[in-house]
């Protein structure tokens, strides 16, 4: 099927940029550099910056824009899906849509609004497809006019702590799939954020207790993988339980389209894996609870359910080879890694020394700043000291964690950048650097920023203004620092959700 709304291919996408002095410029109609997502570029690209620092900031912000464009859900959907003569092609598989009496669309996550609207456009063009659906999306998502015209219900729910609206939307999804028959097709759209946006507690667990345990886990310092082990064992939707419900009620075919926001792109971790087998166990959930000393703080209904699960193996979530997964087809259609590889290919072609230094960034945010310094030192020694090149671009992706110690405002990327500055403030830096730390969904932690930028200019200001960085770190108040210096990144919701981005640009 040919659609006028198709985004350009990767090659065409990059052709819309103009190369001038080795900088890729996104051009607008009046021939000015156009930033589609970062809203405060006038604050970040001040004319009183020295030319070299201004140049690094421009390059870095434009790479950020390009990566966001490459992980937009609409782009990823149209890159992965085609429909011709009533047949749906997903990657290398083919489905005859006219075999099914009705199509249901369910799911949730920060990227699923665009995913659903893109899928619906295909069905509208086919005209004879009978479909309906409901998607849980964040309250922060843009309220589009398209939502009112759609046959899909866009249900606004809260993230990262679930609310009643999210619960009601998830219950409505389960009611829809229970009405399905063997001759129907269910699409489940999933992306990061789905774990919070799709709450459905196990029988006996109070909803307010589910909210409390989410809050406890998010402030404990546990990794997202560890948090999701707990979530899956408290949910009647996650951990393959959606598939179990469909199998027991109708055995309808299910196609799940997934955009990854987790390190390693493990499908059982994305939105806590409603459509895939759960390889984790109650024993592992118990280990996480004890590791972070949470047992005594667990709400009673949660504690009792986890204790029952340790004794009764029949309470476990469905595992690999369970027959309930017979008619289930899961497709990973996008991740930050896909986008990074495309950007690397492009920049190498135009002469940049660019490397993907890590696709599995994890650990305590403030401590990772030290690792960034080691990475930079290694590349400086191997390249600048040996006169191999004069400019280096380094990209890392993953997701860091923050252990809450104070009551400040910030997020994991901002705390990571602050930790880096605190570590290097007394060191000799004889190269130019520019670093972005960003949550590509546009909002990070409890701040309005997606992240922040730092460079030599920022380091000089810290020293000249005698700013005590430890005070900001101890109160988890990184955003106050970046806001004070005017270097937070403001975009608002991008309606993307993939791993976080660390972008480093070095010049001799």
pLDDT for position 5: 29
d(CA 413, CA 429): 22
Among the listed residues 449, 491, 492, 440, the one whose alpha carbon sits nearest the alpha carbon of residue 143: 492
pLDDT for position 426: 92
Output the CA angle 192-418-109, nearest 5 degrees: 10
pLDDT for position 21: 39
What is the residue-wise DSSP string for 168-214? HHHHHHHHHHHH--TT-EEEEEE-TTHHHHS--BPTT--HHHHHHHH
d(CA 447, CA 411): 7
Q: Work out the number of other CB atoms within 10 angstroms of the CB of residue 165.
A: 16
413's tokens: 């990327």
Which of the 8 DSSP states describes residue 22?
A: T
Does CATH place domain 10-71+336-507 in 3.40.1480.10?
yes
- Given a contact cutoff of 8 angstroms between Cβ atoms, the answer to whether 236 and 203 are in contact is yes
Contacts of 442 (CB under 8 A, 6+ apart): 37, 450, 491, 492, 493, 494, 495, 496
* Cis peptide preceding 71, ω within 30 of 0: no
**Residue ranges, the chain, pLDDT below 50:** 1-33
What is the sign, positive or negative, of the torsion defined by CA atoms of 483, 489, 495, 496?
negative
Q: Where are the domains of the chain?
A: 10-71+336-507, 88-200+235-280+317-334
Among the listed residues 447, 364, 408, 382, the one whose alpha carbon sits nearest the alpha carbon of residue 374: 382
pLDDT for position 144: 74
- Given a contact cutoff of 8 angstroms between Cβ atoms, the answer to whether 486 and 457 are in contact is no
* Fold: same for 10-71+336-507 and 88-200+235-280+317-334: no
pLDDT for position 126: 83
CATH superfamily placement of domain 88-200+235-280+317-334:
Glycerate kinase, MOFRL-like N-terminal domain (3.40.50.10180)
Angle between helical axes of 224-232 and 282-291 (0-180°, round to 10): 130
Residue 207, CA distances (Å) to 168, 177, 281, 298, 302 in order: 11, 22, 22, 13, 10
Rounded to two decimals, the pTM is: 0.84
Q: What is the CA radius of gyration of the chain?
A: 23
Instruction: Give the pLDDT confidence of 31-64 residue by residue, as tens digits.
Output: 344 678 999 999 999 988 999 999 999 999 999 9
pLDDT for position 34: 62
pLDDT for position 497: 85
User: What is the SS3 assignment for 39?
Assistant: coil
């Amino acid at each position: 099927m040919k659609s006028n709304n198709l985004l350009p291919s990767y090659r065409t996408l990059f052709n819309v940029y103009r190369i001038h002095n080795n900088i890729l410029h996104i051009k607008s109609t009046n021939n000015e550099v156009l930033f589609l997502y970062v809203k405060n570029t006038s604050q970040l690209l001040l004319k009183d910056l020295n030319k070299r620092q201004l140049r690094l900031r421009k390059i870095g912000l434009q790479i950020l824009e390009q990566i966001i464009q490459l992980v937009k859900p609409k782009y990823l959907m149209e890159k992965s899906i085609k429909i011709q003569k009533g047949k749906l092609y997903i990657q290398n598989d083919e489905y005859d849509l006219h075999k099914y009496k009705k199509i249901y669309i369910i799911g949730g996550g920060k990227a699923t609004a665009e995913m659903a609207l893109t899928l619906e456009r295909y069905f509208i063009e086919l005209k004879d497809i009978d479909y309906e659906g409901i998607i849980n999306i964040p309250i922060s998502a843009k309220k589009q006019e398209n939502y009112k015209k759609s046959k899909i219900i866009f249900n606004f729910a809260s993230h990262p702590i679930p609310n009643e609206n999210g619960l009601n939307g998830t219950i409505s999804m389960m009611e829809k799939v229970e009405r399905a028959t063997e001759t129907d097709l269910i699409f489940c759209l999933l992306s990061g954020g789905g774990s919070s946006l799709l709450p459905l507690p196990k029988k006996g667990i109070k909803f307010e207790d589910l909210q409390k345990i989410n809050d406890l886990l998010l402030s404990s310092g546990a990794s997202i993988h560890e948090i999701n082990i707990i979530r899956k064992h408290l949910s009647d939707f996650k951990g393959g339980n959606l598939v179990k419900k469909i199998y027991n009620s109708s055995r309808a075919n299910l196609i799940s389209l997934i955009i990854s926001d987790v390190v390693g792109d493990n499908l059982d971790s994305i939105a806590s894996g409603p459509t895939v087998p759960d390889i984790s166990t109650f024993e592992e959930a118990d280990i996480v609870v004890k590791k972070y000393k949470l047992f005594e703080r667990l709400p009673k209904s949660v504690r009792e359910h986890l204790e029952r699960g340790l004794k009764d193996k029949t309470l476990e979530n469905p595992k690999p080879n369970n027959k309930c997964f017979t008619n289930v087809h899961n497709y990973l259609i996008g991740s930050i890694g896909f986008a990074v590889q495309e950007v690397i290919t492009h920049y190498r072609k135009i002469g940049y020394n660019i490397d993907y230094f890590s696709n599995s960034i994890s650990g305590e945010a403030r401590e990772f700043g030290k690792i960034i310094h080691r990475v930079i030192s290694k590349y400086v020694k191997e390249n600048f000291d040996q006169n191999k090149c004069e400019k280096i671009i380094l990209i890392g992706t993953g997701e860091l964690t923050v252990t809450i110690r104070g009551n400040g405002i910030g997020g994991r990327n901002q705390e990571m950048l602050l930790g880096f500055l605190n570590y290097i403030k007394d060191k000799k830096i004889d190269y130019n650097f520019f670093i972005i730390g960003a949550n590509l969904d546009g909002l990070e932690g409890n701040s309005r920023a997606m992240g922040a930028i730092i460079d030599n200019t920022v380091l000089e200001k810290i020293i000249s203004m005698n700013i005590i960085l430890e005070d900001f770190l101890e109160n988890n108040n990184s955003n106050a620092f970046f806001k004070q210096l005017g270097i937070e990144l403001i975009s608002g919701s991008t309606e993307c959700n993939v791993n976080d981005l660390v972008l480093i640009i070095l010049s001799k």
